Each structure stands twice: as structure tokens, then as C-alpha cells.
């Protein structure tokens, strides 16, 4: 993997890996498989390095401009982090696990806040999308705004594939269907799935999110029904279908704010690309191959194969 030196300062491997991790999570969140990630890894690594260079240029520019950040601004950032990690105790544990003091962490947050202010300054001229632009985008991408068919279900799982497991799930179903036992209570008492603690609730899910046998049963059932015994690789299930929705075209009213945010994000992104491009023109950026040190005493930049499994260019 290449590395870069920006105005005499080398971009750290940690900074590049941070950007690479963000890219991988972003693309996996948008449907890219791990096999596709591996196939495209060289391109992703190059993009991560490019983003790390941009981040470095913004940090340096924010420091040069000495954009003021108040203690109140930093307190707000700390509060946001505390909320994200689930409370003050988790926040302190996270700092300890990373071996960083709160004072040093606040300094890092200060840098981030200063960059955010710089970004806002660079994008100050970017106007909000107009209603005509929102409408035009919706009409051009209407086929993408179809709400998927989703179901809301609870289930009870009895693990195993033997007669005892089958008899147990049948007895549970009998109590629910004929004796009017509460499905959620039966799930809490008898389900072998972790969802049992929440009364068997699986929340809303779309087609293809469950194993095929479970998926087929859940979507073919009517609202308010309790299924027969459904057999999957995990064992025996019964399903209660609480509700269903979707499967239709979303109106512009449904997706108006989503489209407006997307267009705003794209416009700000273009403005930042132009701003960073200006910074790059003024900067001295050198690229070099990262060296692998395996302790063999050879310089792997020159393609020496010593049997350690690592190579140069």
C-alpha cells in the first residue's frame, strides 16, 4: 500500500486505516459483499489514502486560520460522544481501553470541531435545494422510491430436530391457539432464541432477511395468524404475524426530506471537493511505497522474496 508525505509530514497508517474502515462500512451498508470488498481493495485503499490526505490538509488549514473553538463547543462534542457510547461510564471505559486521557481526547475533539467549522465556512455559499430541484430528482428516480413489503413478527424457537423438540413446540402452539395463552409470555418462558426476552419480537423485516423457510411462512401468513410448525436449520418455530406494510410507491411527500438532505449533502460535497483541490494545489504531496519490515533484513520495496510471504511493489 502507498503512503504519502504532505508538506513534509507523513500520513500515518492509522489515519489511512481509519478512512479505509469508514469506506468498507459505507459500501457494505450499501450492499457490497466481503468478496467484492476484497476484489476492490486496491481501489478502496487508494481512495482511503486520498481521503486521509484531504483530512490532513483540512486539519492544517483549520490550524493556520486559528478558527476559535470554545470550551462550550468541546463540551457539546463530549456530550455527543457520551450519548453515542451509552453513558458516562462507557465513555470512561472507552478512553481507558484506548489509553488516552480525557484531556488529550478533548484536544482531538477540538481539532475536529475546528475542521467542522472550516467545512461550514467553505460551504457557506451553498444554497439549499429548491422545491423544483427536489421534485425533479424525485421524478427522475421515482422507481427507486418504492417501499418494500415488510412484516412485523414474533416467533418462538425450540432448538433441535428430534421428537422431543417437535412435541415441545406443538404443545406451546396448542396453548396459544386453543388455550389462548399469551404468545409473548410463552416466548419469554420457552423460546431458545435471544428474542424470547423481548417476547419473541423480531421487529420489522423485509423479504430475504430470514432463512428461506421462515421467510416464506412469514410473508404468506395473514395478519393476526399463528403459523403451523416451521422447520429451519435452527430448529422448530411458530410465528405470530402482528402486522405488515409496504409494497407500494412512495409519494414525494414521503421522501421529500430524504431527497432534500441528499441533494444538500451532494452540493456540499462538491463544494468541499473544490476547496480541498485548491489546498492540494498549494501543498507539496509526495507518494512512496510503504515498506514491510518482517525482520528478514531485506528491503521489500525492491521486490525481494525471502520466503516471508511479503513482497515489494
The CATH number given to whatever domain includes residue 223 is: 3.10.50.40
Residues 6 and 122 in one domain: yes
290 falls within a domain: yes
What's residue 143's pLDDT?
87
Residues 26 and 100 in one domain: yes
Domain that includes residue 211, residue range: 150-245
**How many separate domains does the chain show?**
2
What's residue 6's pLDDT?
92
What's residue 288's pLDDT?
81
Residues 77 and 6 in one domain: yes
The partner residues of 157 in beta bridges, in order of sequence, read 237
Residues 241 and 272 in one domain: no
Asked if residue 279 lies in contact with residue 58, where contact means CB atoms within 8 angstroms, the answer is: yes
What's residue 147's pLDDT?
82
What's residue 32's pLDDT?
76
What's residue 137's pLDDT?
95
Whole-number Cα distances in Å, 59 to 54, 147, 159: 9, 41, 54
275 falls within a domain: yes
Asked if residue 244 lies in contact with residue 223, where contact means CB atoms within 8 angstroms, the answer is: yes
Amino acid at each position: 500500500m502507498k503512503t504519502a508525505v504532505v508538506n513534509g509530514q507523513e500520513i500515518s497508517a492509522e489515519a489511512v486505516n481509519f478512512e479505509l474502515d469508514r469506506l468498507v462500512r459505507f459500501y457494505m451498508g450499501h450492499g457490497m459483499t466481503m468478496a467484492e470488498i476484497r476484489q476492490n481493495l486496491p481501489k478502496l485503499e487508494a481512495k482511503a489514502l486520498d481521503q486521509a490526505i484531504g483530512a490532513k490538509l483540512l486539519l492544517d488549514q483549520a490550524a493556520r486560520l486559528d478558527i476559535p473553538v470554545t470550551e462550550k463547543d468541546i463540551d457539546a462534542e463530549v456530550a455527543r460522544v457520551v450519548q453515542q457510547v451509552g453513558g458516562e461510564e462507557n465513555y470512561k471505559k472507552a478512553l481507558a481501553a484506548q489509553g488516552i486521557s480525557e484531556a488529550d481526547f478533548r484536544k482531538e475533539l477540538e481539532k475536529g470541531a475546528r475542521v467542522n467549522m472550516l467545512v461550514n465556512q467553505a460551504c457557506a455559499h451553498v444554497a439549499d435545494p429548491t422545491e423544483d430541484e427536489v421534485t425533479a430528482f424525485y421524478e427522475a428516480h421515482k422507481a427507486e422510491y418504492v417501499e418494500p413489503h415488510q412484516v412485523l413478527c414474533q416467533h418462538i424457537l425450540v432448538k433441535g430436530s428430534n421428537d422431543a423438540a417437535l412435541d415441545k413446540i406443538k404443545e406451546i402452539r396448542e396453548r396459544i391457539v386453543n388455550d389462548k395463552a399469551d404468545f409473548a409470555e410463552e416466548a419469554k418462558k420457552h423460546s431458545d432464541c435471544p428474542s424470547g426476552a423481548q417476547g419473541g419480537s423480531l421487529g420489522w423485516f423485509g423479504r430475504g432477511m430470514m432463512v428461506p423457510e421462515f421467510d416464506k411462512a412469514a410473508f404468506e401468513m395473514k395478519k393476526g395468524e399463528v403459523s403451523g410448525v416451521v422447520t429451519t436449520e435452527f430448529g422448530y418455530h411458530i410465528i405470530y404475524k402482528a402486522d405488515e406494510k409496504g409494497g407500494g410507491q412512495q409519494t414525494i411527500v414521503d421522501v421529500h426530506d430524504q431527497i432534500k438532505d441528499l441533494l444538500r449533502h451532494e452540493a456540499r460535497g462538491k463544494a468541499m471537493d473544490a476547496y480541498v483541490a485548491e489546498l492540494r494545489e498549494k501543498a507539496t504531496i509526495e507518494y512512496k511505497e510503504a515498506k514491510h519490515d518482517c525482520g528478514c533484513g531485506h528491503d521489500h520495496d525492491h521486490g525481494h522474496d525471502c520466503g516471508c510471504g511479503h513482497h515489494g511493489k
